[in-house]
Amino acid sequence: MTARTRGGALVLSTVLLVSLLAAATPVAAFAAPFQATVLPQPATTAKSADVSEIALDAARKHLWVASYNKGTGSTLQALSVASETYSTAPIAISPASSVGSGAAPLGVGVDENAGLVFALTSDRVVTTVDASTGKVVRSTPLSVQASAYTVDHLTVDPGNHRAFALERDDDLSGPALKVSYRIWTVDGTTGASQSRAYGPPAVSNGRTNSDLFGLAYNSASQSLIGIAGSGLVVIDPATGSATKTIEAGVVFGGLAIDTVSGTIFALSSPDSPEQKFVAIDSTSLTVTTLAAPSVGGSTLLGVDAASGPVYYVTRSATATGSPGSGTSVLSGGRLTDVADFESRSVAVDITTHVAYAAGAANGQLVKITSPAAPTPQLTVGTPTVEGKWKVGKTLTVSPGIWGPSPVALSFQWRRDGKPIAGAVKPAYKLKTADARRTVSVTVTGTKSGFAVGSATATGRIVAGIAGPTPKIKGKLRVGHVVTAVVGTWKPKGVKQSYKWYRSGKAIAGATSKTYRLKAADVGKRISVHVIGKKKGYVTTTKSSKRTAKVRR
């Protein structure tokens, strides 16, 4: 979730933020240049329309776009991020009528778990839409307080299927203006609404007690985070009371929350003399200062911590260099202008590292892309093999140290560089086929979000008896002698013995290098087994192919 300023007040947009880095870990460098591409406007949006609020539904690959113009009022549509076309008809969330031009959208949020989209408009109505069908489920009007001034800052709690909005109440009954705040809750399932008075911290911290400028839901801690005075406050949604304060010495103008870990990223207000960008651990509330933009007057819109970019509105210059407001990206310590208009909300898809920015000028909707971030690399271990490199013995591989832990490891033993079928465990018993061959093992590590790593232990030649496949030489006729041609065996000193076979059955007494064919061999096929033996080595047997049938 993100909150940021607009015209002196803060509004809220939904930003998909998962797998963010720890608060103390600097975001990785992200390659430039960034490119901005104008996407199609909603179908009912006139030239003077204002595409002001967007929210990403990553589960359904939709970007929900809220727009407004005087002719049609406020509408909501789903843009397919794959085809970049609108997949739903315009949904009226505050239509124009004969008595007015409709209310402007103030925030959009998505509950991906329940498949609901919430849209807040300036007429104090929260419209709930079915994210799959694009049909309006219900409209929930928020009752008007006597001193109500404005309702803003829509934020969504997907775990409990509810949306929150912040109301500012101005009491003009006395000689001086008194400002207080209420937090509205809208149940996405029933449509029931309830408001609770904001209870400032019991201990005074500068302006923290009286001011509440922004609101965002933290799923990790199941709490609301508010921008208040010279820091942030943690608010209990059940009571509306602030339970903790986070002092940073500056007035923040925008914040983004990691919806998995709860890490809070916050940037000082554009009006602050000091530009301060911090990461806050939501459990310990430890504040870590990160690299702030080098130009003044910036508002945080979104963070893609998986790859590094931070999205801002800047007041110093536009992409053309002229004075004004533009949408910029901070990456690797450098701020890059990518759009000439001032964004109102940014939605970041960290799976594709694409950002979407909604701006106030002529209803523009922009897609911001850049080269893919480098894939993190595993720390690869150095595998070593223990055991005797001898046929019949078992080798065991030690994979070495891999990281960051945990890393899933797999193994593949190889013979002369080629995989050995079924040899996929850390231990491998050397076979006859390995004799006089080079055996090695490759260890492969995998971890989600990291490139696959692998390392191969240095192979060695396996000690063992090795010999060629024997051949049979001679005429295949009764009374003739056939001879086993054995070739050269290794190592030196290998002694051979023989066993002759008739159609696969051992011939009694046929244990010499030669064999005289008999009448019983007629119509049969002859083969020979050569057995190699040497002291200290596993006995090895080599078998010839069967001959053609013996004739008389």
DSSP letters for 124-172:
TEEEEEETTT--EEEEEEPPPPTTEEEEEEEEEETTTTEEEEEEEEEE-
Asked if residue 377 belongs to a domain, the reply is: no
- Does pLDDT of 2 surpass 60? no
Same-domain pairing of 354 and 455? no
Of the two residues 446 and 100, the one the predictor is more confident about is: 446
Tokens at 51, concatenated: 């595409």
pLDDT band at 362 (very low <50, low <70, confident <90, very high): low
Of the two residues 393 and 6, the one the predictor is more confident about is: 393
- Does pLDDT of 306 surpass 50? no
* Lowest model confidence (mean pLDDT) among 51-60, 288-297, 395-404: 288-297
Residues 435-464: what's their mean pLDDT? 89
Asked if residue 378 belongs to a domain, the reply is: no
Same-domain pairing of 340 and 445? no
Asked if residue 145 belongs to a domain, the reply is: yes
Domain boundary among 461, 490, 517: 461
pLDDT band at 102 (very low <50, low <70, confident <90, very high): low
Dump strand ranges (E) for 59-123. 62-69, 73-80, 91-95, 105-111, 116-121
Asked if residue 379 belongs to a domain, the reply is: no
Same-domain pairing of 157 and 190? yes
Domain boundary among 403, 438, 461: 461
Residues 447-468: what's their mean pLDDT? 87
Name the β-bridge partners of 349: 354
**Total Cβ atoms within 10 A of residue 452:** 11
The residue among 65, 45, 43, 47 whose CA lies nearest residue 56 is 65
Asked if residue 417 belongs to a domain, the reply is: yes
Say which CATH number the domain at 17 has. Answer: 2.130.10.10
Same-domain pairing of 75 and 141? yes
Q: What is the pTM of this model?
A: 0.60
Q: Is the distance from CB of 84 to CB of 366 less than 8 angstroms? A: no
Same-domain pairing of 442 and 311? no
Q: How many domains does the chain have?
A: 3
Structure-derived torsion over alpha carbons of residues 77, 80, 83, 87, reported in degrees to the nearest 10: -50
232-291 per-position pLDDT tens digit: 889 999 999 888 888 777 777 777 777 666 788 877 776 777 777 788 887 888 888 876
Residues 334 and 253: their CA atoms lie apart, in Å, by 20
Of the two residues 155 and 374, the one the predictor is more confident about is: 155
The whole-number pLDDT of residue 303 equals 55
CA neighbours closer than 13 Å in the CB half-sphere of residue 49: 28
The whole-number pLDDT of residue 178 equals 81
The whole-number pLDDT of residue 66 equals 87
The whole-number pLDDT of residue 25 equals 27
Same-domain pairing of 144 and 278? yes
**SS3 label, residue 180:** strand
Average pLDDT along the chain: 78
Same-domain pairing of 85 and 170? yes
Asked if residue 178 belongs to a domain, the reply is: yes
Domain boundary among 306, 337, 369: 369
The whole-number pLDDT of residue 394 equals 96
- Does pLDDT of 78 surpass 80? yes
pLDDT band at 107 (very low <50, low <70, confident <90, very high): confident
Same-domain pairing of 316 and 389? no
Considering just the CA atoms, what is the radius of gyration of the chain in Å? Answer: 37
**CA distances for 387 relative to 396, 399, 537, angstroms:** 6, 15, 16
Same-domain pairing of 214 and 314? yes
Same-domain pairing of 494 and 398? no
Q: Is the distance from CB of 494 to CB of 467 less than 8 angstroms? A: yes
The whole-number pLDDT of residue 237 equals 93
pLDDT band at 546 (very low <50, low <70, confident <90, very high): very high
- Does pLDDT of 526 surpass 50? yes
The whole-number pLDDT of residue 450 equals 87
Say which CATH number the domain at 441 has. Answer: 2.60.40.2700
Same-domain pairing of 17 and 119? yes
Same-domain pairing of 53 and 107? yes
CA neighbours closer than 13 Å in the CB half-sphere of residue 177: 7
Asked if residue 522 belongs to a domain, the reply is: yes
- Does pLDDT of 400 surpass 80? yes
Name the β-bridge partners of 12: 3
Query: Which residues contact residue 535 at a Cβ distance below 8 angstroms, ignoring those fewer than 6 apart?
Result: none
**Domain encompassing residue 417:** 384-461
pLDDT band at 380 (very low <50, low <70, confident <90, very high): very high
Tokens at 252, concatenated: 């923040």
- Does pLDDT of 148 surpass 80? no
Residues 36-54: what's their mean pLDDT? 68
Asked if residue 548 belongs to a domain, the reply is: no
DSSP 457-483: EEEEEBBS-B-PPPEEES--BTT-EEE
Of the two residues 222 and 150, the one the predictor is more confident about is: 222
Residues 549 and 10: their CA atoms lie apart, in Å, by 95
Of the two residues 214 and 379, the one the predictor is more confident about is: 379
Of the two residues 426 and 220, the one the predictor is more confident about is: 426
- Does pLDDT of 336 surpass 80? no
Q: Is the distance from CB of 237 to CB of 160 less than 8 angstroms? A: no
pLDDT band at 37 (very low <50, low <70, confident <90, very high): confident
